[in-house]
């Protein structure tokens, strides 16, 4: 309960003593989180925000960067405001800071929890060196809809994998000790269900049953809370008809009472104001409703700052409501030691030593190469030889600005490694590399403008489509192999970048088809922030490497993989559909009462299938090839009976049966054959990423306990039910090796 | 409660006395509803089903047709079974019997409740004349997903309109007196939510919150119950993880306890057996679960017949459970007077006098013409003149078998009126009509087979695509106007006919484009069972008449409209999307917190919209043109305040401002501006179909009371909330004339 959270708070006495000294206005100021706005280094004292800070009307700032600027701003709070309460400094540190890692969807494809944790650790190191002590990450929104642009910022469709990643990220940002100057407050978002908007349109209405919510969407948020995340961001969407920001069931009953969260809740950008558009009250009413629901800090709306006093006077909120929220903000400031040293993150010497260092960039390069997913590789076209002539063609073939992908506000865009440069560096001297743009991003200039915005420009080439194509075909003719760098630009996915067409833009498809017609072997290097419907490309292109948006070291990392210096090991964490009409499509669906009777996808009347496309996706969850091959065999269980509180081991032999050393993500899925409610056809319940030398065989074991079999039943009780379970282990979610056991 | 339902049952004493005489096996027999299987007239006595009837193992039969055959079968029950309990005879009488009306989605587009009721009345007249006393209609499943093939069988996306239609259908089938020999038991289906499968794939998992369920989906089922529907069919899908067939909350708590339903519940085809595939138990368990949940009659599975005895002996179901179900079946048989006269529907003289009569067909022709929706009519290309030369082209231009559309099991397919014949009849002697097929249905023969099945064949033309096209272009050149009869075949929609591509088949698109290139004016006569994404056609074709599948009198009815003998007045009851990626798209959505700021659909970053297509659909709910035009003005409310228990009148002046007499569906929408939960941007709350002579103005009035403003809040209480409401009246769901009032 709220009371027990208070009594467990080691800083409560201090918080209470400060609260006693504060005016109502100052309290409301602590709940106010404006954007940094017009602050510029050296002139911060004269900004509007500065005036508000002086008056005690600001609890923290976000969207502010550089230690010098932050130090100046903190000084205003410490020297000019009456209460001298230090400010929080927040930022969207999402997938790295200046050293930028792959977009989160790509990062998740590494299936490497240590590596993911380390990316968050490194991001915290860099961000704190620059003065920042709070990141709005991790985003743990499960999504099954690739139309939604923000799939790029999440960890895919699976609640188990998403939960492990959420834990790793929180641990990475917050470390073991939040009082250190290189750890920072994490913020799990967007609580909750933001990844399931109707029709995949960002900010649209979300709706689902409680049982789906609990079993299929809430897990990763809860995992972050269990991992000790310091803050939670309320989602834009409604849940059961009530916007998350003002949803007491969500922010208090579930989050605090059931899950025991004791940090603070921040709204998303203008989340309070937006409740007026949702249609549940005027500004005063929605602000009061947000506070009473459990929102503690108001990002940008200034609803708390400007209306809560009136609501207090009218008895619509109590001083206890306000004190509870302020207490949570102050507690966070105590937690990270800001009251002891408001300038602890403001060491002017740190940035040069700790940010965007060669070491950090080397690590980013490694992470990027591990995130890439080899989707197709006919006749071992890849890896490329380090000899001969390569024609590198495509609108993304020599671009730096898009490499970091969406939501990388601190990235050094212009310093990102373009593919052309990376290819030259990694190829060495025996390779001739020719390059041409081949096409613009899109036939439609207006569309191209919309998807190359926010600094992620790709300059429109003034030549005609034909001129661009002719140039490309001319160099293609001189090459032994064509590398086509195509797909999305960074801003084609991400926030507010929902689409209804999941294909590569037509001009790029036309370019690709023209390149294929040359008869030269073509490798498609696919840039994307979402699962794309590349069904035609899969049919026609011999090799496809999905590189997502790889981050700062994009060009080098892609080249490492293309030339085989790194053997690709990424696995998809989101299903790639055959077409947009299959959406939502995900591996852990229910069986239905009329499942299709054949695996080939042949149409069967009066079964659950489509007339015009198979049920199976283009690439399933967990899918990804390697330059080597892996053979699975000898799946065994230590027992065919599992007793409550017992465990059984499932083991499988995995052999590297190909000609390269390589890493494999061994995946364990479980099916609960009969339930009191319908259960998915399988669910990921374990995975291990293992290195196998060529020819090597390893026995990989997983422990299974009753805990792994629990789910929320129709009464929302989290329980395992006795009966038969099937264990599948394999290379992706189509894993077929199977053994059964009984839970007693 | 169940007890009060029993005490209200006038037949309970009779039922109880019969129950006392029955063996357990005979009781289970009453719960068994097999398909008629191998019965043929004159040989019914020797069929397997006959044997079961003799043994008392059958409560009713379905899929049986003709009075002679039914009389024979009833005789077996009455003469050879021990208990001599008459059988129910059910059939899918969905949109007419032999006289076939438009598919239900088309029928709903008439917005004419009297007419819809009369179609059901006529269907009952014909079906009962043929021996049938129970229809599995109306289907009242709200659907917002045109991928789902069965949208064809419902009344579209709106809960208010769907409820009115549900009432009209029940009233039509059941009349005022179920003891008459020309009324029949109706069955509302598929209870519940069957129209909302994930990804639009038939039989797939359904999931939504309770608040969406109550406000947006359940209304029409409840309206049917309130109208006294005699039976309810359980849906295939799960609700909150439990298949409807075994869902006690649904079939008992909601349906009987809350809504007071006191008829009987039948499963859908193999619904009980399918629960094994859903994964909630073995055959015995799912059968017991179905009974205990409230399923009374088992269609096809024989789970009740073969396992309930064992479950009874093991204490898993009680004799009271069984007696309750049997009692409901027996009560239905009493209700329709079967115990008084088991042969009351078996008058061998009726069929010739009452089925597929010229009068009935004339009415069907009228209904069909009223269902058609004029989607576009540039420069008044329509109506066609009754002179000159018309080139009628397309795979549906001279077809009879597909005209009745899907789920028309009793239709006289071969007697349906093809368009060519209709056009000739209506055009008269001054028009020369040339006809060519132009293309096959689809380029892909395999696909064509799948969508021209179940007797709805269109013979594949052995000529090449080019030969077919050349022939069409040759006649097109000779014509003054081209009528292109294209779109879906009957089985491209309907049960198990879900698709991921909402466009017209490519070969037909290519044909249409070739016809457009001739420069001749082209009228597209669009056959479809679902909203299609005809965005390209809307751009390029000057006139588009959506005819759905018009029923027995298709060709005549289409021609009536094409030549202007009937001025089209149909209005869409389901939104037509721009593309499949917009799905689900519907008019009564929520506003969200970030609504787009412009009506033109211009992209706005950080608002809820897509990068690649506008938010607005191609054609909105309620849309449909006329050969005349209607002007709306002077929207007035009798008061700007509505008190509880009071009413206010909203009136608007509608003027026929064009040059034809015509009917207009005047639509009233209400927006609840602020709610305790988010409310839709507007909701249909009234409509009137009015005839206006050219130049005529009428004042149309609607009464608004508190009842119209009620909705289910977060606690699922059905209440109106004080505050501001906006009233919109207009020609479709984009109605812009607006006035506000306050509910006190």
Q: State whether residue B610 sits within 8 Å of chain A by CB.
A: yes
Total number of residues shown for chain B: 744
* pLDDT score of A676 more than 60: yes
pLDDT at A39: 65
The DSSP annotation for B138-200 comes to: -B------TTSGGGGGS--S-HHHHHHHHHHHHHHHH-S-TTSTT--B-EEEEETTTT-BGGG
Q: State whether residue B280 sits within 8 Å of chain A by CB.
A: yes
**What whole-number distance in Å separates Cα of residue B37 and Cα of residue B483?**
43
**Are A185 and A134 within 8 A, CB to CB?**
yes
Cα B376 from chain centre: 24
Which residue of chain B comes nearest to A491, CA vs CA? Answer: B611
**What whole-number distance in Å separates Cα of residue A708 and Cα of residue A697?**
27
* pLDDT score of A1 more than 70: no
* pLDDT score of B43 more than 70: no
B596-611: pLDDT as tens digits: 989 888 999 999 999 9
- Interface confidence, given as ipTM, is 0.97
Residue position matching structure tokens 């009068």: B359
Tell me how close the Cα of A218 comes to any Cα of chain B, in angstroms: 15
* Span B481-485, average pLDDT: 98
A473-505: pLDDT as tens digits: 999 999 999 999 999 999 999 999 999 999 999
* pLDDT score of A589 more than 80: yes
- Mean of the per-residue pLDDT values of chain A: 96
* Residues on chain B touching A280 (C-beta within 8 angstroms): 674-678
pLDDT at A599: 82
Q: Provide the token pair at A146.
A: 């690739």
Q: Provide the token pair at B30.
A: 């009453």
* pLDDT score of B41 more than 70: no
CA distances from B638 to A381, B441, B677 (A): 77, 55, 28
Q: Which of A243, A500, A597 is the best mutation test for B, with the most CBs of B within 10 A?
A: A500
Instruction: Report how far apart the first and last C-alpha atoms of chain A are (Å, whole number).
Output: 35
* Residues on chain A touching B590 (C-beta within 8 angstroms): 205, 238, 278-279
**What whole-number distance in Å separates Cα of residue B735 and Cα of residue B542?**
24
A36-58: pLDDT as tens digits: 876 666 666 667 889 999 999 99
pLDDT at B413: 87
pLDDT at B4: 61
Task: Find the range with the poorest average confidence among B431-435, B442-446, B455-459.
Answer: B455-459
- Interface A-B: count of C-beta contacts within 8 A: 247
B257-291: pLDDT as tens digits: 999 999 999 999 999 999 999 999 999 999 999 99
- Mean of the per-residue pLDDT values of chain B: 96
B154-170: pLDDT as tens digits: 999 999 999 999 999 99
What band does A264 get if pLDDT is binned at 50, 70 and 90?
very high
* pLDDT score of A316 more than 90: yes
* pLDDT score of A71 more than 60: yes
Tell me how close the Cα of A373 comes to any Cα of chain B, in angstroms: 26
Which residue of chain A comes nearest to B615, CA vs CA? Answer: A201
Name, in order, each residue with C-beta under 8 angstroms of B394's C-beta and a sequence gap of 6 or more.
B437, B438, B439, B484, B485, B486, B508, B511, B525
B363-373: pLDDT as tens digits: 999 999 999 99
Q: Check B607 against A453: CB less than 8 A apart.
A: no
**Are B63 and B409 within 8 A, CB to CB?**
yes
* pLDDT score of A3 more than 90: no
Name, in order, each residue with C-beta under 8 angstroms of A541's C-beta and a sequence gap of 6 or more.
A376, A484, A512, A516, A522, A523, A524
pLDDT at A413: 87
**What whole-number distance in Å separates Cα of residue A737 and Cα of residue A677?**
25
What band does A4 get if pLDDT is binned at 50, 70 and 90?
low
* Residues on chain B touching A212 (C-beta within 8 angstroms): 207
pLDDT at A6: 66
Taking alpha carbons only, the member of A475, A186, A230, A253 closest to residue A328 is A230
What band does B359 get if pLDDT is binned at 50, 70 and 90?
very high
What band does A644 get if pLDDT is binned at 50, 70 and 90?
confident
B289-319: pLDDT as tens digits: 999 999 999 999 999 999 999 999 999 999 9
Closest CB from B198, B201, B496 relative to A606: B496
CA dihedral B683, B686, B689, B692 (to 10 degrees): -100
Closest CB from A242, A274, A450 relative to B714: A242
**pLDDT over 70, % of chain B:** 98
pLDDT at B42: 67
* pLDDT score of B7 more than 80: no
| Residue A379 CB neighbour total at 10 angstroms | 8
* pLDDT score of B730 more than 80: yes
Catalytic residues of B: 268
């Amino acid at each position: 309960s709220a009371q027990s959270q208070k009594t467990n708070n080691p800083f409560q006495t201090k918080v209470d003593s400060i609260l006693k000294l504060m005016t109502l206005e100052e309290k409301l100021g602590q709940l106010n989180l404006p954007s940094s706005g017009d602050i510029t280094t050296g002139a911060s004292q004269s900004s509007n925000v500065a005036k508000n800070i002086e008056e005690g009307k600001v609890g923290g700032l976000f969207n502010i960067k550089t230690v010098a600027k932050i130090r100046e701003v903190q000084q205003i709070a410490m020297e000019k405001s009456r209460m001298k309460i230090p400010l929080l400094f927040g930022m969207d540190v999402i997938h790295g800071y200046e050293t930028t890692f792959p977009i989160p969807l790509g990062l998740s494809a590494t299936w490497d929890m240590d590596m993911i944790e380390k990316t968050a650790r490194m991001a915290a190191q860099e961000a704190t060196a620059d003065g920042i002590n709070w990141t709005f990450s991790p985003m743990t929104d499960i999504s099954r809809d690739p139309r939604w642009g923000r799939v790029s910022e999440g960890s895919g469709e699976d609640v188990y994998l998403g939960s492990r990643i959420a834990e790793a990220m929180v641990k990475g940002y917050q470390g073991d000790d939040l009082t250190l100057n290189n750890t920072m407050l994490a913020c799990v978002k967007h609580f909750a269900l933001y990844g399931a908007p109707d029709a995949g349109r960002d900010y649209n209405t979300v709706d689902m049953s409680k049982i789906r919510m609990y079993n299929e969407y809430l897990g990763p948020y809860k995992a972050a809370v269990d991992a000790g995340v310091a803050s939670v961001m309320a989602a834009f969407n409604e849940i059961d008809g009530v916007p998350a920001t003002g949803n007491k069931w969500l922010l208090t009953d579930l989050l605090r009472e059931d899950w025991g969260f004791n940090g603070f809740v921040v709204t998303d950008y203008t989340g309070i104001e937006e409740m007026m558009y949702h249609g549940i009250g005027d500004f005063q009413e929605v602000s009061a409703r947000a506070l009473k629901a459990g929102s503690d800090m108001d990002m940008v709306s200034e609803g708390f700052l400007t209306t809560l006093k009136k609501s207090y006077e009218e008895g619509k909120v109590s001083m206890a409501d306000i004190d509870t929220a302020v207490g949570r903000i102050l507690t966070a400031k105590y937690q990270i030691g800001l009251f002891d040293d408001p300038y602890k993150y403001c060491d002017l010497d740190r940035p040069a030593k700790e940010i965007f260092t060669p070491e950090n960039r080397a690590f980013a390069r490694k992470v990027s190469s591990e995130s890439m997913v080899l989707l197709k590789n006919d006749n071992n076209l890849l890896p490329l030889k380090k000899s001969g002539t390569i024609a590198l063609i495509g609108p993304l073939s020599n671009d730096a600005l898009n490499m970091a992908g969406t939501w990388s506000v601190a990235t050094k865009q212009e310093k990102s490694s373009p593919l052309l440069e990376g290819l030259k560096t990694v190829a060495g001297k025996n390779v001739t590399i020719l390059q041409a743009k081949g096409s613009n991003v899109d036939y439609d200039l207006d569309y191209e403008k919309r998807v190359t915005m926010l600094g992620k420009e790709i300059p429109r080439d003034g030549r005609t489509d034909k001129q661009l194509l002719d140039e490309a075909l001319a160099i293609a003719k001189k090459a032994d192999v064509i590398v086509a760098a195509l797909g999305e630009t960074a801003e084609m996915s991400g926030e507010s970048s929902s689409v209804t067409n999941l294909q590569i833009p037509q001009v790029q498809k036309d370019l690709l088809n023209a390149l294929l017609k040359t008869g030269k072997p073509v490798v498609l290097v696919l840039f994307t922030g979402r699962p794309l419907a590349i069904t035609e490309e899969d049919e026609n292109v011999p090799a496809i490497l999905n590189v997502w948006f790889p981050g700062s070291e994009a060009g080098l990392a892609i080249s490492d993989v293309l030339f085989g210096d790194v053997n690709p090991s990424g696995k998809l964490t989101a299903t790639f559909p055959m077409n947009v009409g299959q959406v939502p499509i995900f591996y852990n669906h229910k069986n239905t009462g009329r499942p299709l009777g054949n695996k080939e996808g042949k149409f069967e009347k009066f079964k659950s299938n489509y007339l015009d496309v198979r049920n199976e996706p283009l690439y399933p969850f967990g899918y990804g090839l390697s330059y080597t091959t892996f053979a699975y065999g000898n799946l065994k269980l230590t027992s065919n009976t599992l007793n409550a509180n017992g465990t059984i081991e499932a083991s499988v032999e995995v052999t590297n049966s190909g000609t390269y050393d390589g890493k494999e993500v061994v995946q364990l899925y479980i099916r609960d054959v009969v339930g009191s409610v319908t259960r998915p056809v399988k669910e990921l319940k374990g995975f291990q990423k293992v290195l196998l030398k060529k020819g090597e065989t390893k026995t990989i074991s997983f422990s299974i306990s009753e805990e792994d079999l629990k789910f929320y039943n129709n009464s929302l009780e989290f329980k395992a039910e006795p009966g038969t379970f099937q264990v599948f282990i394999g290379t992706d979610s189509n894993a077929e090796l199977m053994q059964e056991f009984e839970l007693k």
